[in-house]
C-alpha cells in the first residue's frame, strides 16, 4: 500500500516538468490521489487540448492508485 497522497498541483508540476517534478516522480507509482484532485488534473489535461486517448495514456502512466473510481 502506498504511503503518499498527491494533490493536483504535485501531479501538474510533474507533467509540466516544474520544480519538484523529480520528487513527485519518485513517489510514483502507487501514490494515491483524491477524486477531487484527479478531476482537477483531468480538467487541466482537457484544457491543454489532449484527446481522450492521450488523457487516458497520461493518467495510466502515472500509476496512481484509483481503486473503486471510474475516472475516465
pLDDT of 45: 97
Q: Burial of 44 by CB count in 10 Å (0-12 exposed, 13-18 middle, 19+ buried)?
A: middle
Cβ(6)–Cβ(33) under 8 Å? Answer: yes
Banded pLDDT at 2 (limits 50, 70, 90): low
Banded pLDDT at 66 (limits 50, 70, 90): low
By C-alpha distance, which of 45, 11, 17, 53 is closest to 29?
11
The highest-confidence range among 6-10, 32-36, 62-66, by mean pLDDT, is: 6-10
pLDDT of 34: 86
pTM for the full predicted model: 0.82
Q: What is the DSSP letter of 12?
A: H
pLDDT of 17: 95
Domain ranges of the chain: 5-62
Buried b / exposed e over 46-58, threshold 16 CB at 10 Å, is eeeeeeeeebeeb
Amino acid at each position: 500500500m502506498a504511503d503518499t497522497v498527491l494533490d493536483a498541483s504535485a501531479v501538474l508540476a510533474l507533467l509540466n516538468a516544474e520544480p519538484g517534478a523529480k520528487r513527485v516522480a519518485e513517489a510514483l507509482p502507487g501514490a494515491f490521489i483524491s477524486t477531487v484532485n484527479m478531476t482537477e488534473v483531468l480538467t487541466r489535461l482537457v484544457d491543454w487540448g489532449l484527446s481522450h486517448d492521450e488523457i487516458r495514456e497520461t493518467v495510466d502512466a502515472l500509476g496512481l492508485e484509483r481503486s473503486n473510481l471510474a475516472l475516465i
